């Protein structure tokens, strides 16, 4: 049939994606591959795979990537808290995504920083002066205690209630010291953008000034997420392809979080998380949940726990940055026996992730790879590794999270030329899911950089996540 003007299929334009055009609710989860059959793997097999001392136990020795700064692992956790919060799913039943409420907005709008905004959450904002209802409060804004050492600690911490809990938009951003310091850095960055907005537009005040500061803050954050974080985790080849040719699989009508992303692909960071981390130059590496860095959900208790971001993120004038653990089928042994899990509950983080594949009726990773057009040879290479890990008990229909980690190990992150860099980042399936979803959330949001003004570019001083965080380093650095 002749294709007349207006009848030719449009390629590479997110608004005209030909898949997944059914209506969806943005406060519920969804699916990327609703037409693929779910895989079932016996729970005892999953427990054996994820057990401490089992095939996924990476031990206690560090095995670092060559190219990913460790700060990106915790920034990834910060991003997760910006777009997802599931408090109702369970391992003990089948979970239907359309019935599971997402308590976060599925947009990269930093609502974890802003909460309900200055009108509905005034206790988070400055209330007097030129920046009333514009700047956010931190521990530095609390009245002096008369104890110089205590005041110095509070100056490098989040605003806190008398019980020590952080007064922030998402309490999960206080669950470890590194992510709480990211929260603090972005609050400070917003306040710096408020100063910039006022200097550039003296006529602005109140709500208008707040919105301009928020736009500058979120757009710099979004730029760094795409051009820095996603390139590091998903590969320059995949990110460039999506930006040049459009999304192929994540094509909802409204922004929505698919369970293939939330339940499996975006849990890649568990493989890269170190159990010890050095946060200041020349100091020792501390346990992530130890005496110095704290157990989480608690005030800063030691100046040595204040993060110098030059030690954790790449910036132009700093070379010796701590790297993330390799992305592969191994997790730190501590993660395979979590101390805070209740008696009788599954304590292995790996097993918990694997069980989610069953409970959310996820398709097998190899089936998704085939649907994505990956070659039989590539899928076989990944499945051979899955077979080794499972002692031959998983020949096909691999749990998606396990497939994605095995793919990172066997194939690796795709560089600009499409070559795999093993253990450095997500492979072609995992990378495509993560990058398409996060880029898609931006493209579907008219208030974002990619959804609102694709010709915008950031201040070069803040064009990466590392530069943003380092710009807000404490005076002691």
pLDDT averaged over every residue in the chain:
93
d(CA 335, CA 178): 17
Give residue 153's pLDDT band: very low, low, confident or very high (50, 70, 90): very high
d(CA 209, CA 215): 10
The string of DSSP codes covering 63-94 is: -EEEEEETHHHHHHHHHHHHH----S--TTS-
Give residue 316's pLDDT band: very low, low, confident or very high (50, 70, 90): confident
Query: Over the stretch 189-235, which tens digit does the pLDDT of each residue have?
Result: 999 999 999 999 999 999 999 999 999 999 999 999 999 999 999 99
CB 425 within 8 Å of CB 327: yes
Give residue 13's pLDDT band: very low, low, confident or very high (50, 70, 90): very low
Name 236's Cβ contacts closer than 8 Å, sequence gap at least 6.
Answer: 414, 415, 416
Query: Over the stretch 109-128, which tens digit does the pLDDT of each residue have?
Result: 999 999 999 999 999 999 99
What percent of the chain is modeled with pLDDT above 70? 95
Mean pLDDT value of segment 94-101? 95
Q: In this predicted structure, what is the pLDDT of residue 400? A: 98
Give residue 23's pLDDT band: very low, low, confident or very high (50, 70, 90): very low
Give residue 27's pLDDT band: very low, low, confident or very high (50, 70, 90): confident
Query: Over the stretch 435-471, which tens digit does the pLDDT of each residue have?
Result: 999 999 999 999 999 999 999 999 999 999 999 999 9
Our CA dihedral for 272, 275, 278, 284, rounded to 10 degrees, sits at -150
CB count within 10 Å of CB 340 equals 8
For residue 476, pLDDT beyond 60? yes
**In DSSP terms, which residues pair with 258 in a beta bridge?**
30
Query: Over the stretch 325-335, which tens digit does the pLDDT of each residue have?
Result: 999 999 999 99
Give residue 24's pLDDT band: very low, low, confident or very high (50, 70, 90): low
CB 255 within 8 Å of CB 26: yes
Query: Over the stretch 56-88, which tens digit does the pLDDT of each residue have?
Result: 999 988 899 999 999 999 999 999 999 999 999
Our CA dihedral for 132, 136, 137, 141, rounded to 10 degrees, sits at -60
* Locus of tokens 């730029």: 223
Name 136's Cβ contacts closer than 8 Å, sequence gap at least 6.
Answer: 113, 114, 124, 125, 126, 187, 190, 191
For residue 343, pLDDT beyond 80? no
3 state SS for 380-406 = HHHHHHHHHHCCCCCCCCCCHHHHHHH
DSSP state for residue 228 in the 8-state scheme: I
């Amino acid at each position: 049939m002749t294709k007349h003007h207006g009848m030719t299929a449009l390629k590479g334009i997110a608004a005209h994606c030909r898949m997944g055009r059914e209506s969806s609710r943005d406060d519920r989860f969804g699916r990327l591959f609703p037409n693929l059959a779910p895989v079932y793997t016996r729970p005892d097999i999953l427990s054996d795979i994820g057990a401490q001392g089992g095939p996924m136990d990476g031990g206690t020795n560090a095995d670092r990537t060559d190219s990913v700064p460790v700060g990106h692992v915790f920034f990834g956790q910060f991003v997760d808290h910006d777009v997802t919060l599931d408090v109702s799913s369970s391992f003990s039943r089948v979970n239907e995504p359309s019935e599971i409420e997402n308590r976060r907005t599925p947009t990269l709008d930093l609502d974890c920083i802003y909460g309900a905004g200055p009108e509905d959450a005034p206790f988070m904002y400055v209330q007097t002066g030129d920046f009333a209802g514009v700047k956010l409060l931190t521990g530095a804004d609390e009245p002096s205690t008369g104890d110089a050492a205590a005041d110095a600690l509070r100056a490098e911490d989040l605003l806190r209630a008398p019980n020590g809990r952080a007064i922030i938009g998402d309490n999960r951003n206080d669950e470890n010291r590194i992510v709480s310091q990211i929260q603090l850095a972005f609050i400070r960055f917003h306040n710096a953008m408020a100063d910039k907005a006022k200097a550039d537009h003296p006529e602005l005040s109140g709500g208008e000034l707040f919105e301009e500061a928020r736009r500058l803050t979120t757009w710099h954050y979004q730029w760094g997420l795409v051009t820095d974080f996603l390139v590091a985790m998903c590969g320059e080849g995949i990110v460039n392809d999506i930006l040049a040719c459009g999304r192929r699989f994540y094509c909802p009508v409204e922004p929505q979080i698919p369970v293939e992303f939330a339940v499996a692909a975006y849990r890649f960071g568990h493989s890269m998380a170190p159990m010890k981390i050095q946060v200041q130059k020349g100091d020792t590496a501390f346990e992530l949940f130890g005496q110095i860095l704290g157990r989480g959900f608690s005030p800063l208790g030691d100046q040595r726990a204040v993060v110098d971001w030059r030690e954790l993120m790449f910036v132009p004038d700093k070379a010796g940055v701590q790297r993330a653990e390799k992305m592969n089928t191994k997790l730190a042994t501590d993660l395979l026996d979590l101390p805070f899990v209740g008696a009788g509950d599954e304590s292995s983080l790996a097993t918990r992730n694997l069980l989610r594949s069953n409970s959310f009726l996820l398709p097998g990773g190899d089936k998704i790879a085939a649907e994505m057009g990956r070659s039989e040879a590539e899928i076989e290479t990944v499945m051979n590794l899955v077979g080794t890990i499972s002692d031959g008990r998983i020949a096909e229909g691999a749990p998606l999270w396990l497939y994605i980690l095995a793919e990172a190990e066997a194939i690796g992150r795709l560089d600009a030329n499409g070559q795999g860099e093993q253990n450095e980042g997500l492979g072609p399936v995992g990378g495509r899911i993560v990058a398409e979803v996060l880029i898609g959330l931006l493209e579907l949001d008219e208030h974002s950089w990619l959804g609102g003004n694709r010709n915008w570019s950031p201040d070069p001083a803040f064009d990466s996540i590392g530069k943003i965080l380092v710009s807000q380093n404490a005076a002691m650095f």
